[in-house]
A = this chain, B = another copy of it.
């Protein structure tokens, strides 16, 4: 395994290239898919980066691997730890298995059974807690104190951001034309920050915009006020996007992402169904948010080449929103 240097600043171009090289054993090179009927509907040229086909079913594999490889072998001998009810938990569990060290995951009692089973399937040890930020953090502190495992934050970590950036690098390299826009959904901001850096260092001209549900518009408001805003409510079908930004991701997004587009719950559900029906692929509602934004703000994208990162496909297919 290649070791990467710890990052105390946003990753630069060399960091991103080294990261992409180092995480190769952990990731698939996912395809770019196109769809004539969605292009017609949107009035532009869409290029979908299919991270739903990534290992563990989501781009989170990239960031977890990138962060894990920044620890020295001694530092992770006791294992990797995190708190997450979603894809980051699976990513850390799988990274630990690949590295041959234990994984300790704090999950809320009410996490979906299918996600608990997936994390267990990678051989991780799960500690359950109540589903509040305070109790999650307390449970994680206990696990780290008891095991000596190394903590990997889901997004507020420059190592994680460097890993998430590699999806954008591949999108830019594998698209046969020059992209005008790249859109990514925004929750904690790891992917959006990484995508902005990928465009900064590897694209000739692509502008990166975020897309977010109206119901959890914290990132949109944060760009307006210039400080990290919190969501008062977290009711959205895009369950991966409920989180607020972190200071490290906000620092990058504030500098490099000029706009975050908002869409309604109904628009997210409709966009999810369209991608399922027309592209025949399974995606999480969270990653239909950028496509929903293209449909809503179509005049901004008319005839442009637009890259969209489809972030993941871990859906309970027995409980769909349509």
Contact = CB atoms under 8 A, between A and B. Distances in A.
B313 A280 contact: yes
A246 interface: no
Interface stretch (A10-18, A152-160, A314-322): A314-322
- Report how many copies the assembly holds: 2
Nearest to A318: B322
A154 B279 CA distance: 24
Nearest to A51: B280
Q: Quick one: which of A52, A273, A280, A322 has the most chain B CB within 10 A?
A: A280
A183 to B, nearest CB: 20
Given A280-B53, A281-B281, A317 B322 contact: yes
B282 A280 contact: yes
Nearest to A50: B280
A276 interface: yes
Contact of A317 (B31, B52, B318, B320): B320
A74 interface: no
A57 interface: yes
Contact of A276 (B53, B273, B282): B282
A277 interface: yes
Contacts of A279: 53
A282 B282 CA distance: 6
Contact of A281 (B277, B280, B320): B280
Contacts of A281: 280-282
A280 B57 contact: yes
A58 to B, nearest CB: 10
Interface string A201-244: 00000000000000000000000000000000000000000000
Contacts of A33: 53
A273 B52 contact: no
A322 B52 CA distance: 21
Interface in A255-295: 273, 276-277, 279-283
A147 to B, nearest CB: 28
11 contacts: A31-B31, A33-B53, A53-B280, A57-B280, A276-B317, A277-B282, A280-B282, A280-B283, A281-B281, A317-B322, A318-B322
Interface of A: 31, 33, 52-53, 57, 273, 276-277, 279-283, 313, 317-318, 320, 322
Given A53-B279, A280-B281, A318-B322, 6 more contacts: A53-B280, A277-B282, A277-B317, A280-B282, A281-B281, A320-B320
Q: Please list the 8 inter-chain residue pairs (A to B) with the smallest Cβ-Cβ separation, ordered nearest first.
A: A280-B313, A280-B282, A52-B280, A276-B317, A281-B281, A318-B322, A53-B280, A276-B282
